[in-house]
Every structure is written in structure tokens, then in C-alpha cells.
Amino acid sequence: MRLEKYQNVQDGRLKHAGHDYLELAETYGTPLYIFDEASFRERVKGYQQAMETPYFETEVLYASKALLTKAIARLISELGIGQDVVSAGEIFTGIHNGVNPEKMYFHGNNKLNQEIRYAIENNVGTIVIDNRMEVERVNQIAGEVGKKQRVLLRLNPGVEAHTHEYIMTANLDSKFGESVFDEAIDTVIQRLATAENLNFAGFHSHIGSQIFEEASFYKAATELLTFSAAVQNKLGIKIEEINFGGGFGVYYTETDQPFNVVDFLPNFIEHVHAEAVKLEINLKKVTIEPGRSLVNASGSTLYEIGDLKHTAGGKDYAFIDGSMNDNIRPALYQAKYEAMVVNKAEFPAEKTYTIAGKACESGDKIIENIELPELTTGDLLLVNGTGAYNYSMASNYNRIPRPAMIHVIEDKHYLTVKRESFEEMMMREI
């Protein structure tokens, strides 16, 4: 397993910023989500600095679908970044933990009327319109609330992103956004610009997730800017902001080769500026919406090894006390992970295991065919790269309680999400 810079092996055991994983397990139990706060802070600040430019205003918006807790929301507020939200629940969590709603961008392909009203009444800064029907609903509700709502239009530029089918968001048949190739797109934009209760500011696009090719982002930027110039020239509508979304790829296993986002962003901003000048677009603001690339490497999950099984077919299973309930990604996306036995960090890898969970599903496998030291019941297994889309997609399937989460910051660690109890699973049931 590739170690993060906050991890090291000492006295034969893997440690997190000097904290022994065995002691963390004794204190908080397992399964346990562990979030390294210092590396998250460093990454956010790196993105912010890399976006700085004299050409136009820039802003980093955290895509909170990747991971959102009260503690994460407080960090968003403290670090001064914006928040990309996709539901009233994410808006509520942000507002009630210090996030400025003016710095929120509300996304979603089927926002409910009550969510739109909640957003407008609570001063959410920008609503990203997904489709032509939504234009009328947001305009009407804004009028009823008595506000003029700032909006962007999500465009689908048809840029092919080489990633998993489920996380491609800009192919021609995507459920997200209005296609730039649709004959009626001009009509949609004209309506946005003339709606009495809307302030149309520009466009948004997000071409997908886990993208490892810088060229995909440059191509999307060129397409969006070229389209924006056509809109200005043909319709006389000024485009002040372009939101380029997120999707920067991250490392899970050695087959992943992500580019350095902090190195990429200044060059990307220069490209956007140069294209805007060439096309005579007076951009006022450029935004991005990273999620996974900000939190994933900061997160890991600690499990205890339970029973071991050798099948008649020759497969060796090691069962963990977690399951697809705390990490659905391998079952949903065929996601791959690396892991280490923290109490045997210097033991040689001499056996091939499939790490499987305790859920009643044959597909509940976290890692297949991983080389590890000989395992025994009670060993602790750490899976890296679980900061994004693990806790946020967790469930109670099989009535399995969701794990606890802790934050580690230098010489301290503290609980941010309590381990769910059986009683808490039934609290809303009658």
C-alpha cells in the first residue's frame, strides 16, 4: 500500500501522524473512518493559491457530496471556500455549521420545489439550472419569495471523459444539463436572460469524475468559452462566470496516474484567460468544484479481521467487521483499493486474499486478490483512499450500524461522528 505523508511505519506498526492505529481502534472501535485534517487543510489552501490570478475573481467550491459532516462543514467555513450542494439537506448542514449561504452553488437535475424555495429563502448565492423546465420553476418561486435569484445554466458540452460509465456526466445521453447541440438551447438561454426574477450570470459544466487527462479539461474549457462567445455574438447576452466543475482524478492503486492539480490550475487559468481574451469574453469569475481530490487521500478506514475461509475452489477469504454498507464503491463502480495490516506492517506479503464484508451479498468484497502477510483473527486492516464517497454513501443494509469517524490533526484526535446504535437506526420508525 502506498503510504500517505502522514503515515509511517515505526516499530513494525503503521502509524498516523505518530498515533498507533491499534490504540485508535482500542479507543474508538472498528470499523472506523479516519480523516487527516492537516492534509485536507493543506490541499484546500494549495488549490486556493493555485487559482489566484489578476484577470478575474476565482473561487474553489467544495463538492460536498464527496463527504459532508458537521465537522467538514465547519472546516469549509473556516477555510473560506464555497460549497457545492445538491440537496436541501446539504444546504441545511452547511448553514447550521457556519458556511455562508452566499458562497453556495445549488446543483441537481430534479430539484424539488420545496428545496428551491428553501434555498432562495435562505439566501443561497447561486442556483445552477439543470434544464428548461427548471427555469420556470425557479423564476416562479423566486418571485413568490420576492427575490431576484442569481443562476447559472449547466451545459453538456459533449466532451468524452475516459472514466467509469456511472461517473461520466457530459456524454450526449447524460441526465445532467442542457446539450450545446440541442436546437432549442438558444431559446433556453434567452428565457434565462429575460426572466424577471432571475439574474443569469453564465454557465456551468462538469464532464465527469476520476479524470486523469489534463487535455479533457482544456478541451471542455475551450468548448465552453467558444459556446459563450457564440451566445454573446448571436444573442447579445454577456457571460460573466464559468464554473468548470471538478472531476480531478485521484490515486487508489498503482494503475492510477493522477496529475498534480496544484501544478495544473495556474496553467488552466492562463488558458481560460487567453481563450476569453481571444474570443472577447469579459469574464468576471471562474470557479471549480473539486470534491474527491480534496478529501479522498485524507481518509482511510480501519477494520478488524474476523473469520478466515479457504474455499474448495482455492480462494482465501478474510472477512472484516465492515461491509459494503460503509464502502459501496467496489460493488457499485468496481473500485479498487490498497490495504495494509497495521500490526504486521513489516511482515512479508506471502498469501493472496479476498477481503470481504459481513453483508449478506456475494458482491460484498472490498478488495479482491490482494497480497498480504498471513492473517489471523484480530489483525487490523487499514484501507487507504476512503475519504470520498464512503461515509457519504453509507447505508444500514442488513441493519448494520454505520461506523464512527474521527479527525486526526497533528498530536490530537477527536470524534466527529458517533458510532450508530441499534436504537438510532429505529428512531424514525413508527
**Domain-embedded: residue 234:** yes
The answer on 209 and 319 residing in a single domain is no
- Label residues 22-54 b or e (16+ Cβ within 10 Å = b): eebbeebebbbbbbbbebbeebbebbbebbeee
The answer on 320 and 268 residing in a single domain is no
**Domain-embedded: residue 348:** yes
Phi–psi pair at 35, nearest 5 degrees: -120, 125
**Domain-embedded: residue 90:** no
Extract the C-alpha cell encoding 258.
493522477
- Give the CATH number of the domain where residue 325 resides: 2.40.37.10
The answer on 214 and 267 residing in a single domain is yes
**Domain-embedded: residue 412:** yes
**Domain-embedded: residue 76:** no
In the listed set 289, 323, 353, which residue is the last one of a domain according to the structure? 289
What pLDDT does 171 receive? 58
Q: How many CB atoms lie within 10 A of CB 243?
A: 26
Amino acid at 29: G
- In total, how many domains does the chain have? 2
The answer on 277 and 422 residing in a single domain is no
The answer on 272 and 126 residing in a single domain is yes
The answer on 324 and 366 residing in a single domain is yes
Q: Which of 385, 384, 370, 390 is nearest to 328 (CA)?
A: 390
The answer on 387 and 351 residing in a single domain is yes
**Do you find a cis peptide bond into 266, omega within 30 degrees of 0?**
no
Annotated binding site for substrate: 292, 329, 333, 361, 389
**Domain-embedded: residue 394:** yes
Annotated binding site for pyridoxal 5'-phosphate: 247, 289-292, 389
The answer on 119 and 248 residing in a single domain is yes
SS3 at position 89: helix
The answer on 112 and 244 residing in a single domain is yes
SS3 at position 208: strand
Which single residue is written with the C-alpha cell 498515533? 19
Evaluate if pTM is beyond 0.85.
Answer: yes
**Domain-embedded: residue 367:** yes
Residues labelled catalytic: 360
What pLDDT does 229 receive? 97
The answer on 151 and 193 residing in a single domain is yes
Residue-level pLDDT, tens digit, the chain, 430 residues: 999 999 999 999 999 999 999 999 999 999 999 999 999 999 999 999 999 999 999 999 999 999 999 999 999 999 999 999 999 999 999 999 999 999 999 999 999 999 999 999 999 999 999 999 999 999 999 999 999 999 999 999 887 654 444 444 445 667 888 899 988 999 999 999 999 999 999 999 999 899 999 999 999 999 999 999 999 999 999 999 999 999 999 999 999 999 999 999 999 999 999 999 999 999 999 999 999 999 999 999 999 999 999 999 999 999 999 999 999 999 999 999 999 999 999 999 999 999 999 999 999 999 999 999 999 999 999 999 999 999 999 999 999 999 999 999 989 999 999 999 999 999 999 9
The answer on 118 and 240 residing in a single domain is yes
In the listed set 266, 289, 312, which residue is the last one of a domain according to the structure? 289
354, 369 contact by CB (below 8 A): yes
H or E element in which residue 49 lies: helix 37-51
The answer on 306 and 274 residing in a single domain is no
What pLDDT does 169 receive? 45
Strands 32-36 and 299-310, bridge-based pairing: antiparallel
In the listed set 270, 289, 308, which residue is the last one of a domain according to the structure? 289
**Domain-embedded: residue 64:** no
Which single residue is written with the C-alpha cell 477494520? 303
Question: Which residue range is the domain that position 113 belongs to?
Answer: 107-289
Question: According to DSSP H, which parts of 177-289 are helical?
Answer: 185-194, 214-235, 261-278
Annotated binding site: 247, 289-292, 329, 333, 361, 389
